[in-house]
């Protein structure tokens, strides 16, 4: 049985990808940083600080995976103490870039035919102030966050590994993607949780816009990338921009909640980065399966179930 190794196996993408790979009959080893992190049934959990090269290399050498998915990431939404920007930047460097470099080096030294997929981000780009911009694989990068910088550096590393070292190394440029497994620190989760609880909700800017997809669709593309005979770079997103207002309108209406409970400090329409996934559609045969409204309603339904399971039904 081929074995896949997933870094960040306890996160949203890691768990959804684990489900998919287990269903495909692969053995799956999931690396998590903390022993208490949950992984999906059928996944062998290993505790590993992927930002520590020796620990990650040891895990790779022990597991000897045929496929590697580097999904672990440090970013503002989930890591670091408030205000500790220096510590968070160091963690981003270790987890986002250094771990990718360790994986590439291990692949180069491995005797087996290893395939790897590395997760990138739309934060490698910046939208103009006055217009949306469509992003494809040829769009010049212009990161404006340190997270985006580390992902841009990883992209160059992976490209060099593929083109000069001949490794089967793919890079996925991921736009916003959501599911019921999304962490509570993300605005989309805050919205559906407030709708489910019929609770007050304060938002920074209800007019902010982004390209959101279902995370289940995104991980399906990651699996296809690893299975493809031709590794490469692929932009993965919905191709549509929606506002935070759209999330709140759909979620609160679906839950029967009162929109007057929403307070926004700003209602300024922002420009958006929009994914052009035509290469993934053409070369991987990938199509997104879940539309925006269906995504919001499914997440709201999950939030309602969780709210009621806590014994706090209205």
DSSP 134: E
pLDDT of residue 79: 46
Residue 202 lies in a domain: no
Full domain range(s) for residue 73:
3-181+214-239+273-289
Structurally, the chain folds into a number of domains equal to 1
The 3-state DSSP class for residue 177 equals strand
Share of the chain above pLDDT 70, in %: 97
Measured CA to CA, the distance from residue 301 to residue 49 in angstroms comes to 34
Q: Is residue 32 part of a domain?
A: yes
Average pLDDT over residues 225-239: 97
Confidence of residue 84 (pLDDT cuts 50, 70, 90): confident
- pLDDT tens figures, 163-175: 999 999 999 999 9
In a domain, 198, yes or no: no
304 lies in a domain?
Answer: no
Residue 23: Cβ within 10 Å count:
9
224 domain residue, yes or no: yes
Q: pLDDT by residue (tens digit) across 25-65? A: 999 999 999 999 999 999 999 999 999 999 999 999 999 99
Using DSSP's 3-state secondary structure scheme, residue 117 falls into strand
- Domain CATH code at residue 7: 3.40.50.720
Sign of CA dihedral 51, 151, 71, 163: negative
Q: How many angstroms separate the CA atoms of 194 and 214, rounded? A: 20
Question: Which pLDDT tens digit goes with each residue over 172-186?
Answer: 999 999 999 999 989
- What's the pLDDT tens digit per position in 106-122? 999 997 799 999 999 99
pLDDT at 77: 60
Q: How large a percentage of the chain has pLDDT more than 90?
A: 92
């Amino acid at each position: 049985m081929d074995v896949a190794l997933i870094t960040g196996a306890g996160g949203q993408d890691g768990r959804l990808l684990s489900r998919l790979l287990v269903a495909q009959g692969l053995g799956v080893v999931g690396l998590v940083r903390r022993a208490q992190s949950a992984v999906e049934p059928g996944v062998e959990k290993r505790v590993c600080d992927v930002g520590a090269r020796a620990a990650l290399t040891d895990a790779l050498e022990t597991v000897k995976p045929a496929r590697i998915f580097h999904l672990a990431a440090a970013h503002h939404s989930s890591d670091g103490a408030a205000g500790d920007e220096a510590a968070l930047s160091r963690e981003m460097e270790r987890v986002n870039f250094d771990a990718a470099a360790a994986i590439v080096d291990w692949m180069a030294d491995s005797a087996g035919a290893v395939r790897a997929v590395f997760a990138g981000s739309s934060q490698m780009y910046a939208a103009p102030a006055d217009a949306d911009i469509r992003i494809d694989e040829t769009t010049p990068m212009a990161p404006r966050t340190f997270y985006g910088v580390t992902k841009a550096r990883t992209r160059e590393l992976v490209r060099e590994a593929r083109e000069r070292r001949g490794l089967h190394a793919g890079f996925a440029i991921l736009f916003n993607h959501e599911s019921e497994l999304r962490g509570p620190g993300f605005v989309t989760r805050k919205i559906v949780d407030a709708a489910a609880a019929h609770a007050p909700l304060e938002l920074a800017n209800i007019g902010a816009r982004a390209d959101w997809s279902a995370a289940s669709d995104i991980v399906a593309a990651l699996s296809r990338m690893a299975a493809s005979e031709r590794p490469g770079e692929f932009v993965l997103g919905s191709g549509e921009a929606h506002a935070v207002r759209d999330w709140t309108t759909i979620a609160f209406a679906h839950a029967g909640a009162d929109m007057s409970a929403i307070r926004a400090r700003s209602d300024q329409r922002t420009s958006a980065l929009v994914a052009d996934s035509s290469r993934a559609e053409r070369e991987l045969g990938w199509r997104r399966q879940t539309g925006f409204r269906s995504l919001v309603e499914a997440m709201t339904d999950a939030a309602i179930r969780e709210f009621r399971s806590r014994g706090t039904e209205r």
